[in-house]
Amino acid sequence: MQKNVIGIVSVLFLTSVVGVASAGEPGWTTDSKSGCKAYNSSVEPEDSLTWSGSCQGGYASGNGTLQWYSNGNPGSEYQGEMRGGKRHGTGTYKWTDGRSYDGGWANNSYDGKGVLTNSNGTKVISTFADGKYTGDGVSITASSATAFVALDNEFIKQMSLIRDSNGCYVSNMESKTLNLYLITDKDIGYYPNEPSGTYTWKGDCINGLAQGRGELNVDSIGSNNRVYSGSIKNSIIYIVTMKNGVVDGAVSSQYGVSKGTRAAQGYYYYQEEFGNLTHYEEVKKALEDKTNSALLVSSLPLKDAMNYAKKIEISDASLALSIFDRICSKYQNSNECKNAAYHKALINATTSNDINDFMITYKSNDPDKLIPKAKEKLSLALKLEKQNADKIEKQRAEEATKREQEAQQNKRRANCEHLYIGRVFEGRGGVFGIKQQYIVEGFSKSSGRATIRGSNSDYRQEVSCSDIE
């Protein structure tokens, strides 16, 4: 999966918010006037604060303004909701250098939807979870916009947006770009006629990004599009739903000319098993439930699917194997399939002999440096095999001891060594007839026979000594 975070995203916006600490309470600072406390993870002794809202149990709570000071000079400011002395709810944090964050908070971290703004006006609109990029978003500069999908700060997909004739950013409708972003179960799900011209979005444009249901018109002349007689301009109309400038779901299209006459109509993406999935939610679900390898392979570019399988091949070998299998099923004879077979060989090598065979086979062809991992796996396998061998040997010794003890006990019983005159025992059917207590009246070690009498009668009988427990 891609970890290259878009431009300013990781370097600028995920820095910690400056705070202050009280003596004996790291991270906590008290408003000298109200006695109300607030928390920040990184503080300086000369920092102080004021809080305009209410206090609950001595901690800043509810709505208000939290103003920080350094040596008496105003510093960062937070306006919004607090709970237990921490930013929690919705609010706006402003740094002294002009940066700001406006959106959701939880336990002092970005959480939910939010907008990060740089001092030069660059914005990142995204979804966060515990301070990490987790969701779909877009980075907007003065001259460009880039949409992305992130999960725990790992950027799964990225796509440059196009500014339409009215200055609103929309998806690039070329298949080589958009097909990487929409989920489809086909290698090429895009209709072969591709647009290249002026884009015009007819729908809502919020914060410079196309939003909701609308029409995206693309006017162009060229061999990529349907050819009409003369110099009539070719027009394609896409009926789409946009989310932060990105196509969200299936795309319907109409072909026509400048007057709006329809020439053709159809769906641009296959309406099959994965043809109508949204670009982020299903990918996130697949990554979280760790069961749907088919969706992972179909929703991620081949390189990303391979990298993800390699990343989890130790922690979740079964899913990694499933992904490798589907890659080879979908991309037969590809270099990725050959590489998948190489990784599968190590995963499936569970015995020391198998691992040794792997090391011999790939000794001179080890592109991903798996031999060191194989050596670690071999050391563990040898250790486990020795433990298993020792366990088996111990079990065998215990079983032999048990058999010897049983043989000795049977020998003692056959020789009547466990009996004495007057011994009372419980007879349970069989040679004893009815269930009752019996008394030993005599026995012979040479013959191995004993005479017994029922405790409730004068009936006597002779039995084998070994029948008496």
Q: DSSP characters for 164-196?
A: -TTS-EE----HHHHTTTS--SSS--S-S----
91's enclosing H/E stretch is strand 86-94
pLDDT at 298: 57
In terms of pLDDT, which residue wins out, 25 or 76? 76
How far is it, in rounded angstroms, from Cα 397 to Cα 143? 79
**Is the Cβ–Cβ distance between 63 and 75 less than 8 Å?**
no
Q: Is the pLDDT of residue 317 over 60?
A: yes
How far is it, in rounded angstroms, from Cα 32 to Cα 434? 93
Q: What is the pLDDT of residues 320-371, one digit of tens each?
A: 898 888 888 877 788 888 999 999 999 999 999 999 999 999 999 999 999 9
Q: What are phi and psi of 132, to 5 degrees?
A: -115, 150
Dihedral sign for Cα atoms in the order 49, 51, 52, 58: negative
- Looking only at Cα atoms, what is the longest distance across the chain? 128
Q: What is the pLDDT of residues 117-148, one digit of tens each?
A: 999 989 999 889 888 888 778 899 988 898 88
Q: What are phi and psi of 40, to 5 degrees?
A: -145, 150
How far is it, in rounded angstroms, from Cα 37 to Cα 205? 42
The mean pLDDT of 29-36, rounded to a whole number, is 90
The mean pLDDT of 37-51, rounded to a whole number, is 85
Q: Helices (H), strands (E): how many in the chain?
A: 9, 28
Q: Is the pLDDT of residue 196 over 80?
A: no
Count Cα neighbours of 17 within 13 Å in the Cβ-side half-sphere.
27
In terms of pLDDT, which residue wins out, 379 or 287? 379
How far is it, in rounded angstroms, from Cα 225 to Cα 384? 64
Q: What are phi and psi of 357, to 5 degrees?
A: -60, -40
Pairing of strands 132-133, 135-140: unpaired
Dihedral sign for Cα atoms in the order 130, 131, 132, 136: positive
Q: Which is nearest to 105 in space by CA: 91, 125, 94?
A: 91
The pLDDT mean for the chain works out to 77
Q: Which residues pair with 90 in a beta bridge?
A: 104
Q: Is the pLDDT of residue 7 over 60?
A: no
Query: In this structure, how many other beta carbons lie within 10 angstroms of the beta carbon of residue 307?
Result: 14
22 secondary structure, DSSP code: B
- What angle, rounded to 10 degrees, do the helices at 352-361 and 371-414 form? 160
The mean pLDDT of 442-461, rounded to a whole number, is 86
Dihedral sign for Cα atoms in the order 208, 122, 104, 11: positive
pLDDT at 293: 61
Q: What is the pLDDT of residues 383-424, one digit of tens each?
A: 999 999 999 999 999 999 999 998 988 888 888 988 899 899
Q: What is the pLDDT of residues 91-122, one digit of tens each?
A: 999 999 999 999 999 999 999 999 999 999 89
Pairing of strands 18-19, 42-43: parallel
How far is it, in rounded angstroms, from Cα 79 to Cα 43? 19
Q: Name the percent of the chain lying above pLDDT 90.
A: 36
How far is it, in rounded angstroms, from Cα 376 to Cα 366? 15
* Range of lowest pLDDT (218-227, 267-276, 310-319): 267-276
Which amino acid is located at 117 in the chain?
T
* Range of lowest pLDDT (209-223, 315-329, 413-427): 209-223
Residue 60 to residues 64, 141, 169, 268, 385, Cα–Cα distance (Å): 9, 36, 40, 54, 59
pLDDT at 104: 96
Assign 388 to helix, strand or coil. Answer: helix
Query: In this structure, how many other beta carbons lie within 10 angstroms of the beta carbon of residue 299?
Result: 27
pLDDT at 252: 63
How far is it, in rounded angstroms, from Cα 117 to Cα 142? 12
**Pair of tokens at residue 75:** 């510093």
